[in-house]
Structure 1
Amino acid sequence: MLRLKLLFICLALFMASAKADEGMWIPALLKKYNIKDMKKAGFKLSAEDVYDINKICLKDAIVGLGKGSRPTTFSGSGSFISSTGLVLTNHHTVVSYLHKHSSDEHNYLRDGFYASTKEEELPAKGLTLSRLIRMEDVTAHLKEGTDTLSAQEASRLMNARGKKLVEAVNTNATITADIKAYFGGTQLFLQVYEVYRDVRIVAMPPLSLGKFGGENDNWKWPRQSADFGILRVYGNSNNESLKYSITNQPITPVNHLELSLKGYEEDDFAMVYGFPGGTKQYLTARAIQQVAEVKNYHGIKIRDAKMAIITDAMNSSEELWLKYSDYMAKTSNSLLRWKAESRGIEKLDLVNLKKEEEKKFIAWVNSSAELKAKYGDVIIGIESCVARLDTLEKLNLYVFEAGINGGNFVSFAGKFDMLNAICSRKNVNEKRLNKELRNLRVGVSNFFNDYDLETEKKFLKVMVKLYDENVGDSLKPSQIVEARKKYNGNFDQYIDEAFEQSIFSSKDKVNKFLKYFTKEDAEKIDNDPVFQLCLSYFLINKDHVMRQRGKVRKEYGKYHTLYLGGIREMKEGEKLVPDANRSLRVSFGQIKGINDEGVEYTYVSSLNDLVEKNQENSKIYPVPEAYAQSCKEAIESTKKTIPTCFISNCHTTGGNSGSAVLNAKGKLIGLNFDSAGNGLVGDYKFMPELTRQISVDIRYVRFVLENQLKAKALLEEWK
């Protein structure tokens, strides 16, 4: 798949010397830019041991987590840990796949899961794992002869050339390629992957251990989370339509990581190897202000309201706890991240720090007429675009966070629009109509099995009210404006009455409608009051968010790219840090404690901490009773501290979840799963004194396998 992201890849600068090396570095360029610094920090291997296309190396043990037709749009990371195809990743990156197998009879979220035999392993349907085979700098080839072309013509030519490169690689279903842009599109790499589509779940701890501390501890340190899951990869099929192995045999990976159980000390070298998502290290002051005061502020307001509804639902019954556990985790994760980001921005006084950087840039621009002609309008242009985007970014948040993704019902109801569209045509395609009806019947079953209608109605009531309070009438669904007048702002009454008149008022009613559906019934969908509200969000997104916001963002992108070009020119000869862009990266630093708000925290947490938390508040920190007893016995018998998690000042971000954490000899010591609060501002500016990535100690992973999951055979296999 081809992705040429030429306009919105941000550029970060290497601005301060520190023991932690800022940035998530391109593995293929370590020898040129980083290996000397890595050696000084304590690394014992060579650059070729980390990345090489001519010999087996560490990169061959690292995989990115993707889905279906988009296997290289990575949402997390993992690593091979055995010659029998075992893969280690985070609990939170793959728990949704286990959730699909959970039921009242087999509550795997509550109890955990372990397949003692390969026959018991559960398919992670839709999950793909991809291993990078090679990277190739194709900048010169793609850009050859484009200097004299217009931007549009150059982009068209580069895309055509890139498509040919990718097509030449994509010869079967197991190999895919894409092209990723770095430094604002000034450097372009072809990346070739082997894709594994038959992935099965082997072991996963109960939610109480995998997400120990839940939302109370998320983005915080110290932690005691056993945030891991173990998968197994089976042999690929050369037929793309066959998602599972014909031979039904696990693969023997090219390489797998060696295990280290020796532990670590403070200031020891640490390296994180994985697929970080995206960072924005070089936003201007005005753009940072928008992040804090518009995006995060309103995002927090909306998700706080959602969390209240989810919490009430989950506390009301075991059935709803099971249905909404995964949704709660997804909702709270970004909520707490936004809160931590905003705290970090304030703590660093980041807006003013960025203003000082801009002053230096402006002074440099004004140092010559040539530079002034080239870059003189850049900052003014960016600020103008950001000012116009304030309203549109806010609208985007409410359309998606409070509208389309305000709960789970809007997207469900929106699926009926296609049925309406098919029937609106003069000559209705009966084959396509029947196929759509079959798809909708499956969708109805899935929706009502996965979610609770009354809870989803509560989402609609609260989200409609929030939308009304925060968005101007000209950008609201007409249904909301009319309901405010008709019901005097009582949106609860509006939603209740809308559902009374709707085909969506119950599972039976929707199924009956679809069972006896004829093309003449399409009008009933179009006139349905609930469908009208849901569809209106999609229309506002189309007319205002996609068009207007898209237009301004495109203009902003041009100024931002020019800004990056100016910074590169100003800093010519200095080591530059590419922003993360869902490609394989290395970050390195030291295992190190932290001073947070005047409190000193050590670099490692222990099993004793888990036991104490559980005893003090078992509601917030629940663990299985037998496991709690095992912990106490282990502490007593060893008379030593048993480590659970540790922190380092390596630079990480979203997508690094599940990344291997390696010691100076390249051996596995931990698994990245989170970052500590204020350090989340590292997406916008890396600060080694604030940044701490959190890892589960590999020894604790094995402790949980032994004492909770009783996975003796797995421990024997993974040595």
Structure 2
Amino acid sequence: MLRFKLLLICLLLSAASVKADEGMWIPSLLKKYNIKDMKKAGFKLSAEDVYDINKICLKDAILGLGSKSNPTTFTGSGSFISESGLVLTNHHTVVSYLHKHSSEELNYMRDGFYAQNKTDELPAKGLTLARLVRLEDVTENLLKGTESLSDVEKSRLVDKRAKEISKKVREGNHYKVKVKSYFGGTQMFLEVYEIYRDVRIVAMPPLALGKFGGESDNWRWPRQSADFAVLRVYGNANHESLRYSIANEPITPVNHLELSLKGYKEGDFAMVYGFPGSTKQYLTARAVQQIAEVTNYHGIKIREAKMEIISKAMNKNEDLWLKYSDFMAKTSNSLLRWKAELRGIEKLDLVNLKRKEEEAFTQWINSSEELKKKYAEVIPGIEDCVARLDTIEKLNMYVFEGGIKGGNFVSFAGKFDMLNAIASRKNVNEKRLNKELRRLRVEASNFFNAYDLETEKEFLKTLVKLYDENVGDKYKPKPIIEARAKYNGNFDRYIDDAFSNSMFASKEKLNEFLKYFTKEDAKKLQNDPVFDLCLSYFLINKDMVYRQRVDIRKEYGKYHNKYLQAKKEMMAGQKIIADANRSLRVSYGNILGIEDDGKNYAPIAYLNELVEKNSKDPKVYAAPQAYIDTCKKAIKESKKAIPTCFISNSHTTGGNSGSPVLNAKGKIIGLNFDRAGNGLVGDYKYMPELTRHIAVDIRYIRFVLEHQLHADNLLEEWK
């Protein structure tokens, strides 16, 4: 009878959390776990066609977007699409690199960009791309003989072994190597990467098309966004990773994806191949509750206030629109995401759903003394940590979202703290002092050219007030407490007075201060009211947030890892999903419509809908008029409706932005760029009736390249 109950519990949990089209799967394990289900869903290729270390396969065309300082910490995905090093990714993943090249004279944000010749391609300075060379399961090598060790001893030994293995793999080659942990450290994979460091921008549509509908359409379906960008990878004589290429010439990639312009229909197989960021499928009820009631709740409050300020500024003139368009996009993205997550949590009743899972988990633990000994403390330990984190997470939101990252001024002023530290020492290093002054002159020039001081003051006025209203005095910076008393809560007047008495009041005053600065001026900086306020956020973070948050999260991590270990043990022999962790993954499903709030939506959106939206609200859907005219003409002349975007139930998350969407034969049919609102809860619990990712149709990408950017040479190259 006991065995029957245990089996029933496992089956219930399995049915609740694992479905054939769910999950972001490790590509090297597809043959073992997934290929049969993929075939049932319509896939026509083999597991080896997707991933194989002995032959060229699809994985050799897939790329992770990183940075010069963190080339294997991926923020998005992409893919090679030609033999001449062309890469396809999302507009929103790389628009900041184009933004750096934009000016009032060359307004690429408004007009888009296309390089007629290779010599015109713009460097995406700091952007790196990575190709996974191979995966290797190193679990046995890392964990052998660690059973009797304490957690600390085990961690040290595993880290030591991982470094030794990585060093050995790197010997005699140019690769980057990482070891990643899965299921609370019960499974380890070695990842070997080829890094590309010379990346250039070839083509990007105007912001009005790349982010068509802006915030009104973000995280929503149906969509008509041309969210794509075309890049190119070059050889670099100064970096050995491209030793097989010619310096300053496009590389020839190991593999590139083939196009399919035949289209698709509802029910067809679709596969997303890329580097998803992170999911948290195994959160407890209490942790989900914290997301809903603390993190997202206060994050939404802060970002709504920021969005109101940005919107007013951008409506004033084109200069401010250009300066704040990228900042607005980043601010609104998380705001709308948090709102959508809350809707999904509520719609699923996710807190109670997680509680039921925990009840089944507890029953399993209580079925034997051995399991009790190993795992009885897991759920209570997690709940205790989460309860202690409530205050810290709320404070962290107001310190970072409302302070350090509230606008752009706090982080800018914070850069002067090093000057203060150098000049305040008893024996001042004049050489270092002068070097720091030169650095800050450049920082000051860049800041005042990139941002508007009056707008930044509005951020401070609004967010200081929000901080005061929502955080207890124990956690408030001294300047805010003193300002509330002195100005009777009128923080607008406080900020105005602070700037009127500050060296940060203008570019000219700050430049003068830096030009004639001596070590005696350290006191002036310390007593500056604006610097004092801005620095206080960093001090609150240092004294009350960072270390406490790290310590509690570290303790939480130990319990959560044990929870994952227990889940894996409990479901031994069954297919169980590892959370996404910025490693290469495959997700698959079918192109399907969706029901949302009582309304059914088809899985494909069309060009005529773009024209209709633009006609109804040209301010929000601000496509160039010449492009709208072209669309009307194309619609009239075409015998079939022209698709723009589509959705499928493949499981995706952040980081999948720019991932190619492939058909049953492994050919690219689209480019993933978003998810439909309620499905954002899929990071915490995948539900097939809610989860849809959104992709721009490959045919629409080529339509925009032809009719908006007039990229005939590129289209000829990319066939």
Query: TM-score, length-normalised on structure 2?
Result: 0.96
* 2:269 paired residue number: 269
Matches within 5 A, 1:289-688: 289-688=289-688
Residue type of the alignment partner of 1:176? K
Residue type of the alignment partner of 1:703? F
**By how many angstroms is 1:111 displaced?**
0.3
Residues 172 and 508 of structure 1, relative CA distance in 2, 3 Å threshold: farther
**By how many angstroms is 1:87 displaced?**
0.2
Residues 19 and 161 of structure 1, relative CA distance in 2, 3 Å threshold: closer
Residue type of the alignment partner of 1:67? S
**By how many angstroms is 1:479 displaced?**
0.6
* 1:255 paired residue number: 255
* 1:91 paired residue number: 91
Secondary structure at 2:270's aligned position in 1?
strand
**By how many angstroms is 1:563 displaced?**
1.5
**By how many angstroms is 1:434 displaced?**
2.0
Please tell me whether the aligned partners of residues 14 and 22 of structure 1 are also in contact (alpha carbons under 8 angstroms).
no
Secondary structure at 2:23's aligned position in 1?
strand
Matches within 5 A, 1:32-43: 32-43=32-43
**By how many angstroms is 1:617 displaced?**
1.1
Q: Does 1:184 align with 2:184?
A: yes
Please tell me whether the aligned partners of residues 208 and 621 of structure 1 are also in contact (alpha carbons under 8 angstroms).
yes
CA distance in 2, matches of 1:475, 1:510: 31
Please tell me whether the aligned partners of residues 271 and 650 of structure 1 are also in contact (alpha carbons under 8 angstroms).
yes
Residues 20 and 228 of structure 1, relative CA distance in 2, 3 Å threshold: farther
Secondary structure at 1:184's aligned position in 2?
coil
**By how many angstroms is 1:144 displaced?**
2.4
Please tell me whether the aligned partners of residues 89 and 229 of structure 1 are also in contact (alpha carbons under 8 angstroms).
yes
CA distance in 2, matches of 1:709, 1:172: 44
Q: Which runs of 5+ in 1 are unaligned?
A: 1-11
CA distance in 1, matches of 2:99, 2:403: 25
Please tell me whether the aligned partners of residues 17 and 685 of structure 2 are also in contact (alpha carbons under 8 angstroms).
no
Secondary structure at 1:646's aligned position in 2?
strand
CA distance in 2, matches of 1:517, 1:168: 51
Report the aligned-residue RMSD: 1.7
Please tell me whether the aligned partners of residues 172 and 238 of structure 1 are also in contact (alpha carbons under 8 angstroms).
no
Greater displacement, 549-558 / 69-78: 549-558
Residue type of the alignment partner of 1:558? K
CA distance in 1, matches of 2:283, 2:465: 33
Secondary structure at 2:189's aligned position in 1?
strand
- Cα deviation code 1:636-681 (max 9, x no counterpart): 1113100000000000000000000000000000000000000000
**By how many angstroms is 1:246 displaced?**
7.4
**By how many angstroms is 1:109 displaced?**
0.3
* 1:25 paired residue number: 25
* 1:223 paired residue number: 223
- Cα deviation code 1:150-209 (max 9, x no counterpart): 222221222222222223344689521111111111111111111111000000000110
Residues 31 and 463 of structure 1, relative CA distance in 2, 3 Å threshold: same
Please tell me whether the aligned partners of residues 174 and 236 of structure 1 are also in contact (alpha carbons under 8 angstroms).
no
Secondary structure at 2:664's aligned position in 1?
coil
Secondary structure at 2:231's aligned position in 1?
strand
Secondary structure at 1:418's aligned position in 2?
helix
Secondary structure at 1:78's aligned position in 2?
strand
- Cα deviation code 1:454-504 (max 9, x no counterpart): 100100111100000111101010110111011000001111111111111
Q: Which runs of 5+ in 2 are unaligned?
A: 1-11
* 2:73 paired residue number: 73
* 1:122 paired residue number: 122
**By how many angstroms is 1:239 displaced?**
3.8
**By how many angstroms is 1:137 displaced?**
1.2
Segments of 4+ in structure 1 off by > 6 A? Answer: 240-243
CA distance in 1, matches of 2:268, 2:240: 45
Secondary structure at 2:22's aligned position in 1?
strand
CA distance in 1, matches of 2:287, 2:601: 33
Residues 170 and 529 of structure 1, relative CA distance in 2, 3 Å threshold: farther
Residue type of the alignment partner of 1:330? K
Residues 544 and 211 of structure 1, relative CA distance in 2, 3 Å threshold: same
Secondary structure at 1:419's aligned position in 2?
helix
- Cα deviation code 1:397-423 (max 9, x no counterpart): 111000110110010000011111122
CA distance in 2, matches of 1:225, 1:118: 27
CA distance in 1, matches of 2:646, 2:179: 35
Secondary structure at 1:578's aligned position in 2?
coil
Residue type of the alignment partner of 1:690? L
Residue type of the alignment partner of 1:165? I
Please tell me whether the aligned partners of residues 13 and 575 of structure 1 are also in contact (alpha carbons under 8 angstroms).
no
Secondary structure at 1:272's aligned position in 2?
strand
**By how many angstroms is 1:564 displaced?**
1.6
Secondary structure at 2:135's aligned position in 1?
strand
**By how many angstroms is 1:425 displaced?**
2.5
Aligned residues: 707
Residues 636 and 239 of structure 1, relative CA distance in 2, 3 Å threshold: closer
Residues 13 and 307 of structure 1, relative CA distance in 2, 3 Å threshold: farther
Please tell me whether the aligned partners of residues 381 and 559 of structure 1 are also in contact (alpha carbons under 8 angstroms).
yes
Please tell me whether the aligned partners of residues 607 and 635 of structure 1 are also in contact (alpha carbons under 8 angstroms).
yes
- Cα deviation code 1:324-366 (max 9, x no counterpart): 0000000000000000000000000000100110110111111
Please tell me whether the aligned partners of residues 80 and 256 of structure 1 are also in contact (alpha carbons under 8 angstroms).
yes
- Cα deviation code 1:541-576 (max 9, x no counterpart): 111111222222122112111222222222111111
- Cα deviation code 1:417-442 (max 9, x no counterpart): 11111222233222222222221111
Greater displacement, 337-346 / 610-619: 610-619
CA distance in 2, matches of 1:461, 1:620: 28
Please tell me whether the aligned partners of residues 210 and 227 of structure 2 are also in contact (alpha carbons under 8 angstroms).
yes
CA distance in 2, matches of 1:337, 1:240: 40
Residues 690 and 192 of structure 1, relative CA distance in 2, 3 Å threshold: same
Please tell me whether the aligned partners of residues 18 and 576 of structure 2 are also in contact (alpha carbons under 8 angstroms).
no
CA distance in 2, matches of 1:217, 1:560: 36
Greater displacement, 507-516 / 600-609: 507-516
Greater displacement, 380-389 / 592-601: 380-389
Residues 158 and 429 of structure 1, relative CA distance in 2, 3 Å threshold: farther
Query: TM-score, length-normalised on structure 1?
Result: 0.96
CA distance in 1, matches of 2:15, 2:527: 59
Give the % identical residues. Answer: 74
Secondary structure at 1:380's aligned position in 2?
helix
Residues 20 and 507 of structure 1, relative CA distance in 2, 3 Å threshold: farther
* 1:109 paired residue number: 109
Please tell me whether the aligned partners of residues 210 and 227 of structure 1 are also in contact (alpha carbons under 8 angstroms).
yes
Greater displacement, 464-473 / 360-369: 360-369
- Cα deviation code 1:356-402 (max 9, x no counterpart): 10110111111222222222222122111111111111011111000
Residues 78 and 412 of structure 1, relative CA distance in 2, 3 Å threshold: same
